[in-house]
Amino acid sequence: MAGHSKWKNIQHRKGRQDALRGKIFAKLSREITVAARSGSDPETNQRLRLAVAKARSNNMPNDNVERAIKKGSGEDGGGNYESIMYEGYGPSGVAVMVEALTDNRNRTAADVRHIFSKRGGNLGEAGCVAWMFARKGLLVMDREESERNEDDMLLLALEAGAEDVEVTPESFQVITAPEVFEEVKVALESEGENCSTAEVTMIPENTVELTGDSIDKMLALIDALEDNDDVQNVYANFEADDADLANYQSS
């Protein structure tokens, strides 16, 4: 999981920026709508259950959640969205995966291709970088809020069914298989742990170290992709010093 904690730093930064731009609710609604096509009951539809949990963690109003579910289940004329994963390379050869939900495949493909080209990257063929990522459950806990040390957290997480625990100075990061993500989350919370991040995501299995201008170029590509209304998530396999990332945040 090399570089994983710094990669999450970027994801958190972007999540906050999306919220400020007022786009996060629209993207979450679309995610819920698509998930609800397989069933409108979160208890029996894991994808919907995860989408609703993500929406609530972002303080999305219940009315918005219910409206999105109705659209997906056909009760309220939902749009014909489809899920597409684009793959390509950013500046310095960084592998990039772009998760989109769209009602116009041609429009979204053209937009994503243009963004890659304009920002120093290249959109590739399906499968060109997917092998560098693994879909995993991720649970992050603030070490200051936990009464457990590293050994205790590792034991608790593994007994709950987790695959691994990465420890940083600030956090415990528990990695799970997607199938047991919720089970592990419930087990941790039942033992008093509070998860600041809880999601099924794509984690890079190897990373590219970026420095200097390369960081700004890569983050500019991520900014442009995530600013597109059809793009839900962007994943990239790079790492950089926290100080360099902070400099970009404040620029």
CA torsion angle for 81, 87, 90, 95 (degrees, to 10)?
A: 130
pLDDT of residue 250: 47
Q: Is the pLDDT of residue 23 over 70?
A: yes
What's the average model confidence in pLDDT over 178-183? 92
The string of pLDDT tens digits covering residues 240-250 is 887 777 777 54
Structure tokens at 24: 């996060």
Q: Is the pLDDT of residue 239 over 80?
A: yes
Beta strand 82-89 with 122-123: parallel, antiparallel or unpaired?
antiparallel
pLDDT of residue 109: 96
Rounded to whole angstroms, how far apart are CA atoms 72 and 50?
15
Higher pLDDT, 11 or 84: 84
In CATH, which superfamily holds the domain spanning 4-73? Integrase, N-terminal zinc-binding domain (1.10.10.200)
pLDDT of residue 12: 46
Mean pLDDT score across all residues of the chain: 86
CATH of domain 82-131+207-249: 3.30.70.980
Strands in 124-192 per DSSP E:
133-142, 164-167, 171-176
CA torsion angle for 209, 95, 26, 53 (degrees, to 10)?
A: -70
Same-fold call for 82-131+207-249 versus 133-204: yes
Per-domain boundaries in the chain: 4-73, 82-131+207-249, 133-204
The string of pLDDT tens digits covering residues 181-225 is 999 999 999 999 998 888 889 999 889 999 889 999 999 999 899
133-204 topology per CATH: Alpha-Beta Plaits (3.30.70)
Length of the chain: 251
